[in-house]
Amino acid sequence: MSRINAVGQKFDEGRLATVLVAPIISEKATRVGEKNNQVLFKVLRDATKPEIKAAVELMFKVEVASVTTSVQKGKVKRFGRSIGRRDHVKKAFVALKPGQELNFSGEAA
């Protein structure tokens, strides 16, 4: 089954279900969220902004105003003699339209 957004692009709902990896819940993310009415998500590295917008609207039944993304480079870490690297992470800053709200705490509002 496919889903069509406001611009007329088609998205596969199976793909949209995997685009959002996890919400980012930290002090910094909470501060950003309260200040700009944004929610932070960890997303797939190859996810596009229209895909992220469609996925959030589909999963949480909210209206999205805009999506901003950034790629956080993985840190180089040492484990004794061997050197490893953490994976790169793509973050999505999803701005919700006024009056919209997402709640991850599990409490009914």
Judge contact between 20 and 43, C-beta under 8 A.
Answer: yes
* Closest C-alpha among 69, 39, 38, 33 to residue 51: 69
Does domain 2-96 fall under CATH 1.10.260.40? My reply is: no
Mean pLDDT across 8-16:
79
Q: Tell me: the pLDDT tens digits for 79-101? A: 999 999 999 999 999 999 988 88
Q: Which residue has the higher pLDDT, 32 or 5?
A: 32
Contact 91, 40 (CB under 8 A): yes
Query: pLDDT for 19-33, tens place per residue?
Result: 999 999 999 998 988
Are residues 77 and 84 in contact, defined by beta-carbon separation less than 8 angstroms? yes
| Burial zone of 83 (CB within 10 Å; 0-12 exposed, 13-18 middle, 19+ buried) | exposed
User: Where do the domains of the chain lie?
Assistant: 2-96
34 — pLDDT class (breaks 50, 70, 90): confident
Q: Indicate whether 107 pLDDT > 70.
A: no
Tens digit of pLDDT for each residue in 47-80? Answer: 999 999 999 998 888 899 999 999 999 999 999 9
Average pLDDT over residues 14-18: 88
